[in-house]
Amino acid sequence: MPIPEAFIEEMKLLWQNYDLPGSFASFFDSLDQPQVRGIRANGLKIDPQKLSEHLADIILAYDQAKQSPRMVPWNDDGFYIQTDAAAGRLPAYHAGLFYIQEPSAMLPAKVLAAKPGEKILDLCAAPGGKTARIAADLAGQGLLWANEISADRARALLRNIELMGCKNCIISQETPERLADMLSGFFDRILVDAPCSGSGMFRRDNQAAASWEKFGVEHCTLLQQDILTAADKMLRPGGWLVYSTCSFSVAEDEAMISKFMLDHPEYILVEIQGPGLSPGIKYDGDEQLAGTARIWPHVADDDGHFCALLQKCDQAEFELTDYDTGRSINSETRAATEHWLKWSEKILSQKGQEEMKLLMEEWQPRLHNNHLQLLPPETPAFAGLKMVKTGFYLGHFKISGRPDDRTRKNTGPNKSKNKLIFEPAHAWFTSMHADDFAYTLKLAANDEILLRYLRGETIAVDTEDISVQAQKQPQSGDHIVICLEDYPLGYAKMQQGTLKNMYPAAWRLRT
């Protein structure tokens, strides 16, 4: 892999001017080493220990007996995996039990340390690994707002968030400046995993060097400054800000933090410590910058990363904004919600019905273009913003005999004499537990029926194999939730002894 000469000279100057770990030669040699790969347990569904037992065949170990899985040192739910492991084809991946993520990229969300009930912004969120970790830390309580300016990357973010089963996440596709205009001082914690020159990915991504030469550090620093300025506007006094990059360049890392704190003296830098982490560079002789953290490939055998943790003081000047989180529910939305509740009685177990009713007492239904969603508590008004996801997506309504036009204005249950049909969202199933449903087919990871389901095939099934938590046995037309053990993968419809596969086409395994 050719390394840009300008980058080599920049790094040589770092070793000449600062006291850095190891030698420049060892650093340079590390860029030619094979990449490492990792996965992170999805805390919304499974604990790390259970995942390591579930995936012992692909998780690296410290010993040949595989008694001690090799965990990512700076993260409490991450594991190193075999470089040739086809992790994305595993049933456990399709069940949302883990997220495939570079180990170094696991650091920022861990440092952010979100707490249940808080309002969190992931400002540059795609593809969603950090968002998913934040969601696990929130444990379904509070509000998680993920933003991604790129349409293609926002779609990837949406898929990953739905796969992980995040109920309380909303997604926007906006510029940071536009969000800042509408959400002044709203968030308790903000993560800025900033767009950068990407030099930390040189050994992982063959295109990273070409991208570094094309865009350069200077272009990125201007963008990073603007993003941090917007983030500051949206953070409440006393709130926490994490800034991170996958760049080795001081200009994008310590110098960026130094300039931000000079422009915003109301912030203090909080030291980051942990195994595998190296102290930041004391740029311009500033000792406190050593409290930032770096991941060096020749020290940690991983991709390069930088991370800083800042707190905004309680006395910071702040213009209080009274956010409108209450919305009136019109008759169409109310009727649609009642229709859904009636429909769900056939799908959910008694436990599932009780949990959904409790959720709907606190979360507000929203019917938009026949799509029914539940907005998390404290969701602010977002009129005028480009939204990709506005809450917990339940599904959409359509009318029998008409094309499935999802852009049609709300029809509502009272708008037609034709039969109204509700089609549940795949995201609804992946956000729930097997015990929440009336009919489930629980399968082992190596079961051929499960693999056929993931390939989108129609499957035959013995009704005696279906777990029933309802007053009657499943009949034709009933929804059967297909599970990897106790973890829903999706659903199928009973049709005279066979199951019509409803697994989304875009998610299916390719042979």
Residue 458 CB partners (closer than 8 Å, separation 6+): 498, 499, 500, 501
First to last CA, the chain: 32
Identify the pLDDT of residue 407. Answer: 45
Question: CA nearest 123: which of 191, 197, 187?
Answer: 191
Residue with tokens 């959910």: 348
Per-residue model confidence as pLDDT tens digits over 183-227: 999 999 999 999 999 999 998 888 888 889 888 899 999 999 999
Strands (E), 14-141: 37-41, 78-81, 98-100, 119-122
Rounded to whole angstroms, the Cα distance separating 428 from 448 reads: 25
- In the numeric block, which tokens belong to residue 419? 């039969």
Calpha distance 312→99 (Å, rounded)? 31
246 is catalytic: yes
CATH number of 434-511, picked from 3.10.450.720, 1.25.40.10, 3.30.428.10, 3.40.50.1000? 3.10.450.720
The pTM score is 0.94
Amino acid (one-letter) located at 393: Y
CATH topology identical between 106-312 and 434-511: no
Mark the ranges of the chain whose per-residue pLDDT is less than 50.
406-407, 416
Give the number of other CB atoms < 10 A from CB of residue 82. Answer: 12
In the chain, domain spans: 106-312, 332-432, 434-511
CB atoms within 10 A of CB 199: 25
Q: Residues 124, 166, 220, 246: which is the catalytic one?
A: 246
- DSSP at 489: E
| Beta sheet of 371-375, edge-to-edge order | 364-368, 371-375, 392-399, 420-424
Contact 37, 81 (CB under 8 A): yes
Query: Would you call 46 helix, strand, or coil by DSSP?
Result: coil
By C-alpha distance, which of 169, 162, 168, 171 is closest to 489? Answer: 162
pLDDT at 204: 83
Q: What is the pLDDT of residues 407-463, one digit of tens each?
A: 455 555 555 456 789 999 999 999 999 999 999 999 999 999 999 999 999 999 888
106-312: CATH number: 3.40.50.150
Question: Which of 240, 100, 227, 242 lies closest to 163, judged by CA?
Answer: 100
Percentage of the chain with pLDDT > 90? 85
Is the distance from CB of 396 to CB of 372 less than 8 angstroms?
A: yes
